[in-house]
Homo-oligomer: A and B are copies of this chain.
């Protein structure tokens, strides 16, 4: 008996757990940052399990949207009312875990209150505003959201249409939505829950547009919660996921707000309408970088959940015979199954390692910013944008692979996959559309390439490879002798090559096109360069983290890290073969290495996913249950179906029954 092996468990799953060649508990501690962190996770789990308000009446997939909203409101009040149970300063760790346990994958009425509204107040208010608003926000006297995106405008902030026109006569701004496309659209919690918002609008004063600025605006009456005059609010309807949240729309009809509604830490408008520009235009980026940094952790957690479900289910599910007469085999024994699922597990590990790094970098930058030091801000911006894009895409793809690997039952909401996918895949679009993000990274890469060409490059660690002169051929002999160093150099070669391919094409295009058109004409190649840049970072960072792991964990982590790297290489063979950098024989070696990793990971797979320390409360998957008793649980789960409340449905009485009766009467 242990945390993972208990009486009554599915026998196959128990056998898997007994086979592991490492200590699951020690691996969990390594993953989560030490035994103490692990202990705290379990305290938080025990607390959440002890509070009735955190229980769902039935699995949430059986609730209507109205019911989900109500259920979530109860939980979020309980969750935010018990924050003394966690270390509030550790949002990346305890905060996110606590929220995942209590709220699942549905966000809630106060998601943006905590992730966007409060950080914006902290970052953008002057001291007087901070006193007033932060107090109200933190005490939960108001619920705020962040209203920037409009129906017709997303990534390109400069074209937002909502206007805030200053009227010096009354010392007020007039908020207005001049068109339908100006409607605020998407903000979480805006439709029904929030009564305040930071609204981003084009600031007009003295007849001039000063660009988009943030304003704090009351939306609904404090007592009745009815929208204030001139403000039209509503829910934007059902989505692919996150349907327990009331993402909303908002239209302003000449709504007057006081001058000090403008958040004035940086830009200011004086009573007479004089505009004072901010000293440093980049300081406003803090919130977005914060959210993107969190996203890496969040996405890796979703992918790991998917890999946990698929791996456990593959150990439980038996289908087909390999040796005739010996009975059906666990599907995890099929190479094709391993090839589908294990790389997703490896990716999740790699992304978690990156999440730790980006958190550390974010902390450093935040600390520096308080001293006005913006040295690392650009690097964090580039890295978080690139990681956000690559990680969210690979995560969505990986979740879908895990779902498909579970066959028909993966399609049922009992699997948890539809919720996990719906939740995670939003990350490809929000907080900066992925392709746009990659093209931002490409700006940095093209500057770096230019610097290298001109001999003026001064590249920090993450971009140093662009200035290196690598070998003309890979040093790989056999995969057993393929060192981390050689592997990284091979990836560096490919990344560098793509950077300069894009650069050369760009330069060539600039000969006959205007700069913007030239950029557009090579943008597919530019995005590719950015992807290689990020992948290289992910592999380097993961290999480095593994090299520092304790000896008893390192051997299995090495299999994981190698699988991650080999999967990248064998998925893009062409990039390595080009110009004879690798031979077909070398590629075959990498493939053999990959197949060997699959075979070596096979006996450790279940314990590896156990190490992530998901409780069933967090995983919310019938297929991925710790105990492996999947089939009785599926039958039990299905009993909750709305359709099973009545033996004979109205559809029979009203339509199908009369149709058949009529036909029988004519036979």
> A residues within 8 Å of B by Cβ?
61-62, 64-66, 69-70, 72-74, 76-77, 80-81, 109, 135-136, 139-143, 149, 151-156, 159, 180-181, 183, 185-186, 191-193, 195, 222, 224-227, 234-241, 246, 249, 318-324, 328, 333-337, 339-340, 396, 400, 404, 407-408, 410-414, 417-418, 422, 425-426, 428-430, 433-435, 439, 514, 516-517, 520-524, 527, 572-579, 584, 587, 595, 631-632, 634-635, 637-644, 647-652, 654-657, 659-660, 663-664, 666-667
Contact = CB atoms under 8 A, between A and B. Distances in A.
**Could you say which of A180, A183, A224 has the most chain B C-beta atoms within 10 Å of its C-beta?**
A180
Contact of A180 (B140, B335, B439, B635): B635
Contacts of A573: 573-575, 577-578
A634 B240 CA distance: 16
B225 A322 contact: no
B435 A410 contact: no
Given A238-B61, A239-B412, A638-B237, A319 B154 contact: yes
A186 B651 CA distance: 20
A159 B412 contact: no
Nearest to A53: B655
Given A66-B642, A143-B660, A574-B572, A322 B520 contact: yes
B654 A73 contact: yes
Contacts of A151: 631, 634-635
Contacts of A575: 573-574
Given A181-B631, A227-B647, A239-B418, 4 more contacts: A192-B643, A241-B411, A324-B516, A404-B428
A295 B640 CA distance: 31
Contacts of A659: 77, 80-81, 140
A328 B638 CA distance: 50
Given A336-B524, A407-B429, A237 B73 contact: no
Contacts of A62: 237-238
Most chain B CB inside 10 Å of its own CB: which residue of A62, A155, A435: A435
Pick from A336, A339, A417, A659 the residue with the most CB of B within 10 Å.
Answer: A659
Contact of A651 (B69, B154, B222, B522): B69
A650 B335 contact: no
Contacts of A656: 73, 77, 109, 143, 193
A77 B641 CA distance: 24
A241 B227 CA distance: 35
A224 B656 CA distance: 12
Contact of A193 (B414, B523, B578, B652): B652
Contacts of A660: 140-143, 195, 222
Interface centre among A249, A396, A407 (most CB of B within 10 A): A407
B141 A663 contact: yes
Contact of A239 (B340, B413, B647): B413
Contact of A644 (B234, B322, B655): B234
A152 to B, nearest CB: 6
Given A153-B319, A631-B152, A139 B663 contact: yes
A319 to B, nearest CB: 5
A222 B439 contact: no
Contacts of A576: 574
The 7 closest A-B pairs by CB, nearest first: A573-B574, A73-B651, A235-B643, A574-B574, A141-B663, A73-B655, A577-B577
Contacts of A135: 667
Contacts of A74: 651, 654-655
Contacts of A337: 435
Interface centre among A428, A638, A657 (most CB of B within 10 A): A638
Contacts of A141: 660, 663-664, 667
A408 B436 CA distance: 13
Nearest to A233: B647
Nearest to A524: B339
A412 B237 contact: yes
A413 B520 contact: no
A234 B193 contact: no
A86 to B, nearest CB: 19
Contacts of A411: 239-241, 425-426, 429
21 contacts: A73-B652, A73-B656, A74-B651, A77-B655, A77-B656, A81-B659, A135-B667, A140-B659, A180-B631, A193-B649, A222-B664, A224-B648, A226-B648, A237-B413, A237-B637, A240-B411, A322-B520, A334-B520, A410-B429, A573-B573, A573-B577
Contacts of A73: 651-652, 654-656
Most interface-central of A140, A417, A649 (chain B CB within 10 A): A649
A568 to B, nearest CB: 13
Nearest to A439: B336
B433 A407 contact: yes
A599 to B, nearest CB: 9
A413 B149 CA distance: 18
A125 B362 CA distance: 70
A632 B185 CA distance: 13
Given A336-B439, A656-B73, A226 B647 contact: yes
B417 A642 contact: no
A181 B629 CA distance: 11
Contacts of A328: 156, 159
Contacts of A587: 574, 578
A660 B139 CA distance: 8
Nearest to A662: B140
B319 A516 contact: no
Contact of A523 (B61, B76, B334): B334
Contacts of A652: 73, 192-193, 225
Given A319-B156, A631-B181, A139 B666 contact: yes
A516 B642 CA distance: 45
